Amino acid sequence: MQFNHGLRIQRSALLSRHVSSATEIEEEVTRSNRSPNVLVLNAYWLGLSFMWNSIHPLILPLLILQLGGLAPNTAYGMLTFLGLCIALVIQPVSGALSDYTRTRWGRRRPWMMAGTGLSILWLIAMVASRSYLGIAISYIGLQLCSNLAHGPAQGLIPDLVPDDRRGVASGIKNLCEMLGVIAASLVISRLVGVSSTALIVATLLISTVLLGSLAVTGQGIHEEINGTQAPIIHYSLWQQIKEVMNIRLREHGSYAKLLASRFCVFLGIYAVQAFAFFYFMDVLRIEAPARAMGSMMTVIGISVLVAVYPAGLLSERWGRKRLSLVACGIVAFGMALLTVLRQPGWIPVLGVVIGVGMGIFNSVNWAWATDLVPASEAGKYLGLSNLATAGSAASARLFGPLIDLVNHWSPNTGYLVLFVIATLATLVGFWITLRVPETRIIPQSQEQVAQGTVAHRSDPVP
C-alpha cells in the first residue's frame, strides 16, 4: 500500500511537471504568434526619417541662405543645437511618461498621434516664415512636438517583440529609417531650391508620408497590458513625477557605457552630415549643393540599407560587441579618408564606406540597447538613447562657429579640422565599446522549455 501510494505521488509530480512544461510551451508559442509584423511596427520610423532628413540637410540650410546676411554655418549650427537640446530633454521624458500611460489605445500610440499632428503644424509654420526668428521658433516647436512622439515610439520593440527577434526588429527599424533617408534625398533634394512653390509641395509631401506611416503602425499593432507594463503608482503627484524621472544608470552601467559609445560615433557622423551642404558649396565649388547633398545621402542610405538587416541577423549569432567594433572601425576609416580625398569623384566611394559602417552600427547598437534596458521601463531608458543621438547631433552643431572662425584665418581649413575631430570621436567610441559587456540571445527550443532551462539572455560576457 505504501509502495502504491508513493508511486501515485511520483506519477502525480511527473504529470504536474509535464503539465507545467506544456503550459510554458503553449505560452511561448502564443507569445510568438502574437508578436507583430516588424515592418508594420517600424513603419513610423520611415515617416520620421523622411521628415528630418528633408529638414536638416536640405530645407533648413536653404531657408537660412534665402535670408542672406548671416554666417551660414554659425546660424544653422546654433539653431539646430538649441532645437536638439530641447529634443534631448523631451524624448526621454515623453518615453518615461508613456510607460505609465493607460488608455484604451495603449500607452504609446496616444503620444505618437498627438506629437505627429502638432509636428505638421510647426513644419508648415517654419516653411512659411520669412525671418530668422520665425524659422527658429517654428523649428524649436517642431523639435518639441516630434519628440513627444519619438520617445514613446521607441518603446514599441521591447513592448511587443520577443527577445529572440529583437535583433531582426532593430534591423528592420534601421532599414525603414534608411528608406526615409533615400526617399528624402531622391525626392526632396530635386524639389527644394527650384522655387518657393516647390518648398510648399515638399512640405505637403513630408506631411503626407508622416501621417501615412503613423497610420500603418497605429492600425497594425495591438498594445495590451502585460507583465512588462510599468506598475501603477498609487501616491501623490510629486511622488509620481519622481518615480517617472528616477533613472538608475548606476544599476545599468553597461547601458550607460553603450550610450557613451553611441554618442561618440554619432558625433562624428552628425558633424560631417550637418555641414556637408556648405562644404560642397565652399570647398568643392558644386553649383547645386542641394542636389549633390541628395546624391550623397542616397549613396549612404543605400549602403546602410544593404547592411542593416544582415547585421541584425548576424548579431543574434555572433553577438553585439564584435559587429559593433567592426562598424566603428569602418566609420573611422571613412572619416579619415575625408581629410585627404578632396575631389568630388571620391564622394560616392566615401559614402559607401561610411554608409556600410553606419548600417552595421545602427542596427547592432539598437539591438544591444534593447537587451540591456529593464523591460518594464523600456520607454524611459530607451528614451535616454536620445542623450546619445540628439545629444551628439546637438554637440556636432557647435562646430559651426569653429568652422567659420578657422575658415576666416585660413580659407576652408575649418572643414579639415571638422573631419579630424569626426575621426577622433569615432575612435573614442571604438575604445568605449571595448568596455561594454556582451549580451547574446540564447536560441530557444521546445526541449529547453520542457527542461526548464530557457534563458532569454545570456549572462554578460566581458
Q: How many helices (H) and strands (E) does the chain have?
A: 21, 0
Question: What fold, for 34-221+236-451?
Answer: Growth Hormone; Chain: A; (1.20.1250)
User: Shortest CA distance to 353 belongs to which of 313, 289, 299?
Assistant: 299
Q: What count of Cα atoms within 13 Å lies in the side-chain half-sphere of residue 311? A: 34
Show Cβ contacts of residue 156 under 8 Å, excluding neighbours closer than 6 positions: 41, 108, 217, 221
The residue among 384, 378, 392 whose CA lies nearest residue 425 is 392
Residue 383: predicted pLDDT:
64
Q: Is the dihedral of CA 180, 186, 187, 189 positive or negative?
A: positive
Cβ atoms of 458 and 440 within 8 Å: the answer is yes
* In contact, 132 and 78? CB cutoff 8 Å: no
Up-side HSE of residue 165: CA atoms within 13 Å toward CB? 18
Digits of tens for pLDDT over the chain (462 positions)?
Answer: 444 444 444 444 444 444 444 444 444 444 444 567 888 899 999 999 999 999 988 899 888 888 876 777 888 888 989 988 888 788 878 887 887 777 777 888 899 999 999 999 999 999 999 899 999 999 999 999 999 998 888 888 888 888 777 777 877 887 888 889 889 888 888 887 656 688 889 999 999 999 999 999 988 887 765 444 444 444 444 444 445 455 555 656 678 888 889 999 999 999 988 888 888 888 888 877 777 878 888 888 888 888 877 887 787 778 788 889 999 999 999 999 988 887 888 888 888 999 999 989 988 887 788 777 666 566 667 767 767 877 888 889 889 889 889 988 988 888 999 999 999 999 999 999 998 877 654 444 444 434 444 344 444 444
Give 294-297's long-range contacts (Cβ < 8 A, gap of 24+). 294/58, 294/184, 294/185, 294/186, 294/188, 294/189, 294/190, 295/185, 295/189, 295/347, 295/348, 296/185, 296/347, 296/348, 296/351, 297/53, 297/57, 297/181, 297/182, 297/184, 297/185, 297/189
Residue 216 is placed in which grid cell? 500603418
Q: CA 157, CA 30: separation in Å to the nearest integer?
A: 17
pLDDT score for 436: 83
At residue 265, the pLDDT reads: 94
Written as nine digits, the cell of 387 is: 542623450
How far is the C-alpha of 34 from the C-alpha of 71, rounded, in Å?
A: 54
Rounded Cα gap, residues 134 and 139, in angstroms: 8
* Residue 340: predicted pLDDT: 86
Residue 158 contacts residue 373 (beta carbons within 8 Å):
yes
Between the alpha carbon of residue 209 and those of residues 50, 142, 204, 206, 244, the distances in Å are: 8, 16, 9, 5, 32
Q: If 0-12 CB within 10 Å is exposed, 13-18 middle and 19+ buried, where does residue 146 land? A: buried
Q: What is the pLDDT of residue 57?
A: 84
Q: Which residues pair with 277 in a beta bridge?
A: none
Q: Which residues contact 452 (CB under 8 A, 6 or more apart)?
A: 21, 24
Sequence-ordered alpha helix ranges (H) in 129-165: 132-153, 156-160
Rounded (10°) angle between helices 72-99 and 399-409: 170
- Which residues partner with 461 through β-bridges? 438
How confident is the model at residue 126, as a pLDDT? 95
Q: What are the grid coordinates assigned to 170, written together?
A: 532593430
319 φ, ψ to 5°?
95, 160
CB atoms within 10 A of CB 427: 18
What letters, b where the CB count within 10 A reaches 16 and e where it falls short, cover 156-185? Answer: bbbbbbebbbbbbbbbbbbbbbbbbbbbbb
> Using CA of residue 130, residue 134, residue 135, residue 141, what is the dihedral sign?
negative
